[in-house]
Amino acid sequence: MTSSDLVTVTTTIDDEDKAAALARSAVEARLAACAQVGGPVTSVYWWEDAIEEATEYTVTFKTTGALADVLVAHVSDEHAYDIPEIIVTPVSGGNAAYLTWVGQETTTPPV
């Protein structure tokens, strides 16, 4: 497994328990090798023609590029927001043993 085969997928959500549930559901489904919940963070954003401010938690998933779209769909389906932030970022380097582990702990998507 090389770093170019891996991505991180990040989302935010308004509740720490919901964040942990998203993390757990993706790892249980083997769509991510692991996920970290961080926060709280303050988000400032436009929503319905007004500036909003909210406390949120960040969830960062580690997965393969092959599973990125499946994981994005999973997070979107499980997420409480109408339009959740879900961003996929390629991994450009890292600990080779860790990168291999991520590949081993995820499941190849169905064809």
Q: Residue 106: exposed, middle, or buried by beta-carbon count in 10 A (0-12, 13-18, 19+)?
A: buried
User: 36: domain range?
Assistant: 3-94
Q: What is the pLDDT of residue 110?
A: 58
Per-residue CA distances from 58 to 43, 101, 108 (Å): 10, 23, 25
pLDDT digits (tens, 9 = 90+) for 24-75: 999 999 999 999 999 999 999 999 999 999 999 999 999 999 999 999 999 9
Q: Is residue 49 part of a domain?
A: yes
Separate counts of helices (H) and strands (E) for the chain? 3, 4
Q: What is the pLDDT of residue 4?
A: 65
Q: What is the mean pLDDT of residues 93-105?
A: 94
Q: What is the pLDDT of residue 25?
A: 97
Q: Is residue 107 part of a domain?
A: no
Provide the number of structural domains found in the chain: 1
Q: Is residue 100 part of a domain?
A: no
Q: Is residue 7 part of a domain?
A: yes
CB atoms within 10 A of CB 50: 7
Question: pTM here?
Answer: 0.92
Tell me the CATH number at 15: 3.30.70.120
In this predicted structure, the answer to whether residue 111 has a pLDDT above a threshold of 60 is no
